[in-house]
Amino acid sequence: MKDTAKHQGLRNQLVTLLKGKGITDKSVLEAINKIPRHLFLNSSFADYAYQDKAFPIGAGQTISQPYTVAFQSQLLEVKKDHKILEIGTGSGYQTAVLCLMGAKVYSIERQNELFKQTSILLPKLGIRPKHLSFGDGYKGLPNHAPFDSIIVTAGAPIIPQALMAQLKIGGRLVIPLGEDIQIMTLLIRKNETQFEKHEFGDFKFVPLLENKN
């Protein structure tokens, strides 16, 4: 579990690259500059951890590409102490970014192996999300709702109704929508019944699965 000056140098380069791709939110860039992404990957990929790429993390899943993590985090407009629900904990890297930005993070993962692995890793790195749970993200976490914002980190064929219902008025839901290719979509809740929709181009995610193993 080493983080060296070499890793820090590679992180600085990654941050420069993300700025060049249009990421401007300082708290997002600072978090990415601090988090040892190489420790969220299997050691065989550790040398490539600061490339702007997705990598396998086991259970057929991937850690999202840093640009995607930065783009989604920026769309959330995180303020300190915001209560954020994440669907798809995976490696915990996106969770860590939101924690370092000062959010109270609640995260759900449906692969037990990843849920267990990440529940051990994050505290080891001194990162403490409010709540990690094993279960189906389509249902959200009704007992902890409402949330200031919700981020879905897998490709969703539809917008889960439960997630819309668990968003505060004024809250933001960031969700990649679509089957093979996803359109990054932001919904802002205007009132009890109305949501404003914005779309931000194509991304590629593993699927958000429902009732499947």
Q: Which residues are catalytic?
A: 64
Nearest distance, CB of residue 66 and ligand SAH, angstroms: 10
Q: Is 177 in contact with 152 (CB distance < 8 Å)?
A: no
Cβ closer to ligand SAH: 64 or 185? 64
Rg (C-alpha) for the chain, rounded Å, is 16
The torsion angles phi and psi of 36, rounded to 5 degrees, stand at -75, 85
The nearer residue to ligand SAH, 37 or 189, going by C-beta atoms, is 37
Let me know: does 174 contact 147? Beta carbons within 8 Å.
Answer: no
Tokens of 87: 């669907």
* Contact string 49-88 vs ligand SAH (x = CB under 6 A): ------------xxxx----------------------xx
User: Considering only residues 91-120, where is the footprint of ligand SAH by CB under 6 A?
Assistant: 91, 93-94, 108-111, 114
31 contributes a contact to ligand SAH by CB under 6 A: no
Nearest distance, CB of residue 98 and ligand SAH, angstroms: 10
Residue 209 found at the interface with ligand SAH (CB under 6 A): yes
Q: Are strands 55-58 and 182-189 parallel, antiparallel or unpaired?
A: unpaired
Determine the residue type at 92.
Answer: G
Positions 124 through 163 that interact with ligand SAH (CB under 6 A):
136-138, 153-154
* Cα gap 110→136, rounded to integer Å: 6
Q: Which residues contact 30 (CB under 8 A, 6 or more apart)?
A: 100
* Residue 206 contacts ligand SAH per CB under 6 A: yes
Nearer Cβ to ligand SAH, position 111 or 148?
111
The residue count for binding ligand SAH (CB under 6 A) is 24
Least spacing, CB of residue 129 vs ligand SAH, in Å: 12
Strand partners, 107: 86, 132
Backbone phi, then psi, for 94, in 5-degree steps? -65, -40
Shortest Å, Cβ 95 to ligand SAH: 7
Measure the CA–CA gap between 98 and 80, rounded to whole angstroms.
10
Question: Site residues (CB under 6 A) for ligand SAH?
Answer: 61-64, 87-88, 90-91, 93-94, 108-111, 114, 136-138, 153-154, 206, 208-210
